[in-house]
Amino acid sequence: MRAPLRLSPKVLLIQPVRMIPSLLLPLVGLLFVGGFSGRSYLWAAIGVGVTFAFAVVRWAMFSYEIVGDRLEIKRSLVSRSVRTIPLERVRGVDVSTPPMHRLLGLAVLKIDTGASGDAEEGKLDGVTLEEAERLKSVLLRRTRAARAAAHPTTTATTGPAAASDGAADSAGPPRASVPAAAPGHTAETDREIISVPWTWLLYGPLSGAYLLTPFALAGGAVGLAFQWGDDLGFGRDAALTVGEWLWGHPYLLLAVVLLLVVAMPVVGGVMYAVFNWNFRLTSRDRYLVAERGLINRRSVSLEARRVRGYEIVEGLAERWAGVARVWAIVTGLGDSQTRGQLLPDVPRAVAFKVTGDAIGSYQAELRPHPPIARNRRLFRAIAPWLLAAAVIALTALLTAQAAWWFAVVVALLLAGVGIPLGLDRYRSLGHGYDGVRLAVRSGSLRRSQAVVERRAVVGWHLRQTWFQRRAGVFTLTAGVGAGTGGYSAIDVSESQAIGFPAEVTPEWLAPFMEKGE
């Protein structure tokens, strides 16, 4: 019988470093209170030694092993605990290599079961790279074998859109089936779907994901100065004095703010490139595998049979540049905004081609929404600024101050900008069904189009606000057991609100229809 496995002993070099932030304040306090004497250094060394000893004991009491159809993770530090993960519940395996792990040839392996949002579930922090790849291959292979044994009649489909949990889709067209993978199958076939060239990382600032990084760094530096000023030697009052001096020199303060604004696309682009460096999407033995990262290289495996669709997101700047980002819609996926990313910013045509190749393309035009939806968007984009202009103008008349009229002009200009914005928001609305997949789209500053397989729809939700009742429109939400849980067609007409569910899921309405009706 094979003995339980342990993490690599090299992880002991990482644990004390991780504990430094929590030990830093006590150690500094000890040295300042006790003075920089031999006794203080001795107590500090004892504290560090105890920390290292605790890490050694925790490493020695941690083990893992695959027993039959389950993975067992055992801890025996103070009380004994055993975490059991059935292999048939494994949805994906992630492998990442943070900087210190990479230097030591280690990796962090996380197992996603979709059972909860617990970040520590199925986490092996400190296995060798070779062991991580071996475990990943074994877990995914045995997961398929466990499911094949549990569902011997289930068939797999050609391509990533396999039948979900053996359930047949009676509404969709017939799917070609092939024999399910045999329990002893070991061969893995890698097919590269796309490798994002580094030049496309220049689109990063358009996403806006990291544009506020310079302000976050500046805020962190200010907070550090106020919190650690006394300990660092220049005093908290010095930091406050610098702030007051900048406030007393508004032009210099404005220059600092402008410098941070100029740095936004540069720093944001660098951060984006660090997280998405060498982005590769491959199809590997019925899994979609996304790999990315420069400092922390990360590999995320998504079981293709659980992918229910995709979401294409385009910000306003991205639309002008013709680029888009893509996320997979997957059942039972924790942290979907990070783990479900299929593509960073790539040309829009490439995004649709890749999603069609990896998951399946949507083959129909989106249907427009009624004209009243356009009027509602124009009203929302224009009316608030016109109301603000009227209030400010009244204030200007009562106070007889010319400065208020400048604010009136600004509000009227913003109301003018609202006209093309409202029209664009209306043009972005749409929904459709091609017989296999349904699609809904909305948004302008952040336009999102979700494409979901019909078999993923588990219900419909029809909603009307008070203003929608007066306009005679509805919000129709397709309930989906994946992704965000539901995707909405906003401001559809009454006929669309009734006809669209009847078209997508006619069998649900059949029991309520009379014969011949």
Chain centroid to CA 248? 42
pLDDT at 213: 77
Q: Are residues 148 and 78 both part of a single domain? A: yes
Of the candidates 288, 279, 287, 295, the residue with the CA atom closest to the CA atom of residue 345: 279
Q: What is the pLDDT of residues 340-358, one digit of tens each?
A: 899 999 999 999 999 998 8
The answer to whether the CB of 305 falls within 8 A of the CB of 162 is yes
Q: Which of 276, 296, 329 is at the close of a domain? A: 276
Say whether both 257 and 134 belong to one domain: no
Tell me which range, 32-41, 341-350, 400-409, 475-484, is most confidently predicted by mean pLDDT.
341-350
Number of domains the chain is built from: 3
Which of 427, 451, 475 corresponds to the end of one domain?
A: 427
Is 376 in contact with 491 (CB distance < 8 Å)? yes
Would you say residue 391 has pLDDT above 80?
Answer: yes
Q: Which residue has the higher pLDDT, 140 or 129?
A: 129
Task: Give me the chain's average pLDDT, please.
Answer: 81
The answer to the question of residue 164 being in a domain is no
Model confidence, pTM = 0.77
Q: What is the pLDDT of residue 159?
A: 39
Q: What is the mean pLDDT of residues 426-442?
A: 96
Contact 411, 388 (CB under 8 A): yes
8 Å CB contact between 93 and 111:
yes
Higher pLDDT, 110 or 49: 110
Q: Band of the pLDDT at 472, cuts 50, 70, 90? A: very high
* 28 and 129 housed in the same domain: yes
Q: Which residue has the higher pLDDT, 201 or 252?
A: 201
| Residues 253 and 149 grouped into a single domain | no
Q: How many CB atoms lie within 10 A of CB 27?
A: 16
In terms of domains, do 142 and 222 share one?
Answer: no
Amino acid, res. 209: A
Q: Model confidence at 155, in pLDDT bands (50, 70, 90)?
A: very low
**Which of 327, 346, 323, 334 lies closest to 288 in space, CA to CA?**
327
**What is the average pLDDT across 62-84?**
85
Question: Which spans in 106-212 are helix H?
Answer: 129-150, 204-207
- Asked if residue 407 belongs to a domain, the reply is yes
pLDDT average, residue stretch 244-251: 72
- 225 in the same domain as 124: no
- Chain centroid to Cα 200, Å, comes to 20
Are 136 and 40 contained in the same domain? Answer: yes
- H or E element at residue 341: strand 341-347
Predicted confidence band of residue 41 (pLDDT cuts 50, 70, 90) = low
- Identify whether residues 134 and 226 lie together within a single domain: no
Residue 161 in this model has a pLDDT that exceeds 60: no
Q: How confident is the model at residue 496 (pLDDT cuts 50, 70, 90)?
A: very high
Q: Which of 452, 331, 357, 341 is nearest to 160 (CA)?
A: 357
Answer yes or no: is 311 within a domain: no
Of 179, 91, 74, residue with least CA distance to 140: 91
Asked whether the predicted pLDDT for residue 376 surpasses 80, the reply is yes
Write the burial class of residue 345 (CB in 10 Å: 0-12 exposed, 13-18 middle, 19+ buried): buried
512 within some domain: no
Q: Give the confidence band of 321 by pLDDT, cuts at 50, 70, 90.
A: very high
Residue 228 above 60 pLDDT? no
Q: What is the pLDDT of residue 305?
A: 85
Q: What CA dihedral angle connects 210, 113, 172 and 285, to 10 degrees?
A: 90
In CATH, what number is assigned to the domain containing residue 19?
A: 2.30.29.30
pLDDT grade for 51, boundaries at 50, 70 and 90? confident
- Highest mean pLDDT pick, 212-226, 237-251, 318-332: 318-332
Query: Which range of residues forms the domain containing residue 407?
Result: 371-427
Assess whether 148 and 16 both reside in one domain.
yes
Distance, in Å, from the CA atom of 506 to the CA atom of 357, rounded to the nearest integer, reads 29
Closest CA to 308 of 432, 191, 437, 177: 437
Is residue 324 domain-resident?
no
Q: What is the pLDDT at residue 24?
A: 58
Residue 175 pLDDT > 60: no
> What is the Cα–Cα distance from 364 to 179, expressed in whole angstroms?
31
- Establish if 301 belongs to a structural domain: no
Q: What is the pLDDT of residues 475-492, one digit of tens each?
A: 999 999 888 889 999 999
Is residue 44's pLDDT more than 60?
A: yes
131 with 213, same domain: the answer is no
| 168 within some domain | no
Structure tokens that stand for 341 in this block: 């990313």
Note the pLDDT of residue 12: 86
One domain, residues 380 and 264? no
205 and 131 both lie in a single domain = no
pLDDT-derived band of residue 230, with 50, 70 and 90 as boundaries?
low
Using alpha carbons only, give the angle 80, 85, 90 rounded to the nearest 5 degrees. 155
| Mean pLDDT value across residues 443-469 | 94
Cα dihedral across residues 465, 467, 470, 471: positive or negative: negative
Last residue in a domain, options 408, 427, 446 = 427
The verdict on residue 50 lying in a domain is: yes
